[in-house]
Amino acid sequence: MPDIRILSDRVANQIAAGEVIERPAAVVKELVENALDAGATRIEVEFRHGGRSLMRIEDNGHGMNRDNALLSLERHATSKINEAVDLDQLGSFGFRGEAVPSIASVSKFTLQTRAEGDELGTEVLVNGGKIVHVRDCGRPIGTRMEVEHLFNSVPARRKFLKRDRTEAAHIVAGVRLYALASPGVAFTLIEDGRVIFSSPVCPALSDRVAEIFGRQLAEQLVPLKAEEGDFKLAGLIGRPGVGRSTRHEMIVFVNGRPVDNRTLNYALIESYHESLPKGRYPPAFVFFTLPPHEVDVNVHPAKREVRFRSEPAVRGFVIRAVLERLRELGGGAQNADAKTQMPDSSLERLLATELRPVSDATPATPPPSTPIAVPAIMPRLGALRQAPTVGPAVESITPAPANSELRGARGWRYIGMAHGSYGLFETSAGVMWVNRRAAHERVWFERLQEEFRAGQVAGQQLLLPVPLELDPVASALLVDRLEFLTDHGFGLAEFGRNFFRIETIPVWMEPADAEPFIRDLLGALRDGSFPADNVELARESLARLASSKAVRLPESPGEAHWRSLLDQLFACRAPHSSPAGRPTYFEMSHGEVARRFQK
């Protein structure tokens, strides 16, 4: 039996780094938190090659003397707490004393710092956990930390890092969170020598949101402020009807700390259940404050999650606060003629419901559809369009050889429409139900695939370009894919930092849909659900996204509409399902009907 041994500090630090330092963004997060805890009013973050080769965090905080600089490299050395009971009154970001020694154990780490009253600063160089030198240096009051060659002493960990672009996106997103958390601190972020954003001290949260996410988004937000007992909620939330396809712009802070908390996220989504359609998420930047002893921040190695002592009380307070603000704005329901206030019974039912997955957070009733003639799919020349179609428009799918399904469909007898969404046909075997949205999406999807494959994407120029302002991450993603979008009917031009103009759109798109579509596309890219490198897969994903966003259904389709739709559907290669996998039709047989009536 092997002997039990105590691990050396170097090995212990490398093991701890596996929990605390998952990727370069975790390094930046920990060091930025230290800078904020040190009282910095200016923080500059620079990184290269996705953080692999260099990360530099420099601040003007109170700095450290030589003894404290050396102590900061020891495990569990911290100035934040003394006893375990201090965790109940925690007011700082950091408290474990693990981050700096863990980072130094898996990189080439340089610490330069100077405290007020010291004539000279201190420089400490650590390589793979071993101190190389400690010497005097000249520098202003504050701290500068450089992390080079991350995971150079742990090659196995380095192999698990993603590509530079992916790691860079995580760093940018993390710094952006702490810039939002501290509007009173000036932040500068530099990637490979290029300034991503530089935000001075902002007097209000709305100014910081405008600096980072763009003024277009800031103008769509309204202030929120509520207080109930020890609970306080403040920040900015989206107006009724303003939604996003992802949760990247729904950010919550607990006692100033950015967190990903299920209770708060679902409470926000539930609050908008009558103000946004299913699958859309409100943009929100909210700060939830409560006594420190009511929340546990020590439940995750990276401190990304927190746990409340009373989850139902927190959830109920947030829902009440947001609903009351939406009522004031007249956004209690999606329909224009709906009452601006929700009945008390509805509020009670909402608060009584259990937490549900995000996909079930809004009612299943679909929002009212905008009428437009879909069967012919003719190019629509809106009032804002100037030039004629560039290239031929595809009016219908190339007819496929008649198959048995198509021949059978022509013999179906049209009965009518149910619930505004389903066509009913009598067949020799029973009753056929056709989902017209799913069917239209399948027709659109295969039509667009053919256009993209043939390189014959028709576009139309807008008389009045549509402005588009993005945050730095989305802007970088868009710049990288401008050529791809141009090849598929879009024309976008840079018009300043993080600002673009949509000048050309495909013929299948309305001008009003251009900005939301581009934002949804960028959201899919950030989620990783849109392939970035494989052109064929990217075209398929673009066609799938377009087919779900571009479909506009007529209000009162007649039999001719349904016949035309069936002809186009059964000419598709895969008529049985929509691009999202939902069935386009199904048959209820005579036998099933008989069983229902107990015959």
Q: Where do the structural domains in the chain lie, given as residue ranges?
A: 9-199, 220-360, 404-569
Domain 220-360 coded CATH 3.30.230.10: yes
Predicted local distance difference test score (pLDDT) of residue 95: 57
Predicted local distance difference test score (pLDDT) of residue 244: 84
For 404-569, CATH gives 3.30.1370.100
**From CA 380, how far away is CA 546, in angstroms rounded?**
16
Task: Give pLDDT tens digits for 481-527.
Answer: 888 888 888 889 888 767 899 999 888 888 888 888 888 888 888 77
β strands within 338-412, DSSP E: none
Domain 9-199 classification at class level: alpha beta
Predicted local distance difference test score (pLDDT) of residue 301: 61
Q: Are 31 and 145 in contact (CB under 8 A)?
A: yes
Q: Are 286 and 237 in contact (CB under 8 A)?
A: yes
Q: How confident is the model at residue 552 (pLDDT cuts 50, 70, 90)?
A: low
The separation between the first and the last C-alpha atoms of the chain, rounded to the nearest angstrom, is 74
Amino acid at site 106? V
Q: Residue 532 in 3-state DSSP? A: coil
Q: How confident is the model at residue 555 (pLDDT cuts 50, 70, 90)?
A: low
Predicted local distance difference test score (pLDDT) of residue 84: 55
Predicted local distance difference test score (pLDDT) of residue 75: 74
Q: Residue 161: CB partners within 8 Å, gap ≥ 6?
A: 23, 24, 50, 52, 151, 167
pLDDT above 80 (res 417): yes
Mean pLDDT value across residues 67-78: 81
How many whole angstroms from its chain centre is CA 130?
40
In whole numbers, what is the pLDDT of the chain averaged over residues? 78
**From CA 505, how far away is CA 548, in angstroms rounded?**
17
- The residue ranking higher by pLDDT, 503 or 373, is 503
Question: Rounded to two decimals, what is the model's pTM?
Answer: 0.65
Most trustworthy range by pLDDT among 2-16, 27-41, 440-454, 479-493: 27-41
Q: Are 224 and 232 in contact (CB under 8 A)?
A: no
Work out whether the CA dihedral 147, 152, 154, 157 comes out positive or negative: positive
